[in-house]
Amino acid sequence: MNKKILNSGVVVFVLIYVVIVACDMVCSSNELYAHLRYYTKPSILGALITFFLLQRKGLNVLTFRLMILALIFSLAGDILLLFVDRSQFFFIAGLIMFLLAHVMYILIFLRKRDNKKKVGFFLLLTVLYGMSLLYLLYPGLGNMLIPVIMYMVVILLMSNTAYFRGRDVSRVSYLLVFLGSLFFMLSDSLLAFAMFYKPIPLENVWIMVTYASAQFLIVYGVLEQKNNTLLK
């Protein structure tokens, strides 16, 4: 990998992105500013979509369309989850939006599937992880059991397709996307743990840090696969 510095546009975006995420964490952790989350939380994906559109030149058309759909579904999910305290409908609708986002990511990652990699150890690890988490959550799931299992299967599949990526992508692109998929698993696990098992200290902070990192790493990794210029 070349050791040249990141271009200034990327550096500027990263700084802006960090500020937006930090503002959202402050608002999610302080009742005084909680109403501002209706602006700060959607701004995270809004900024990321803008970054993606500005950096997309040279990206495959189908990959571009799938990425835009993934990001739009994620933005819709973020907005819907802001209203979960009003009705369970918003949680289910948000879950569906993120499920669709993960399906888009799966389709993107499958386009770069490395057929030389064999299904095995990583798949076993993720299955064991999912079963362990489900064992903890099960008593508190109630009528959300089936939707949560379906979502869990999809996100584990997303992480596995990221792991089996590799054809025609650089090592940097591969690592960014794979790490992003793991952060996504962690973020969703923290959210589920806090909702259905027991509260986590500063849960909103940890959930948003891992979530925002996941989305950025996946977007950055997919952009880098286009011509390996972003990180050169």
CATH number for the domain harbouring residue 12? 1.20.1070
The confidence score (pLDDT) of residue 227 equals 55
**Tens of pLDDT, residues 147-178:** 999 999 999 999 999 999 987 888 899 999 99
Number of folded domains in the chain? 1
Choice between 141 and 120, residue whose per-residue pLDDT is larger? 141
Instruction: Report which residue type is found at 14.
Output: V
Q: Is residue 230 part of a domain?
A: no
Phi, psi of 103 (to 5 degrees): -60, -40
The confidence score (pLDDT) of residue 9 equals 78
Helix (H, G, I), strand (E, B) or coil at 165: strand
Domain encompassing residue 148:
8-224
Please tell me the pTM assigned to this model.
0.90
**Tens of pLDDT, residues 180-192:** 999 999 999 999 9
Q: Is residue 229 part of a domain?
A: no
The confidence score (pLDDT) of residue 84 equals 87
pLDDT at 28 over 90: no
Non-local (6+) Cβ contacts of 95 within 8 A are 77, 147, 148, 151
The confidence score (pLDDT) of residue 1 equals 40
23 pLDDT band (50/70/90 cuts)?
very high
The confidence score (pLDDT) of residue 232 equals 38
Average the pLDDT over 89-114 and give the result.
94
Q: Is residue 134 part of a domain?
A: yes
Q: Is residue 232 part of a domain?
A: no
Pull the structure tokens for residue 68: 């835009």
Whether residue 49 contacts residue 68, with contact meaning beta carbons closer than 8 Å, is answered with yes
Q: Is residue 173 part of a domain?
A: yes
Average the pLDDT over 124-132 and give the result.
94
**Tens of pLDDT, residues 191-229:** 999 989 988 888 889 999 999 999 999 999 999 886 554
Q: Is residue 1 part of a domain?
A: no
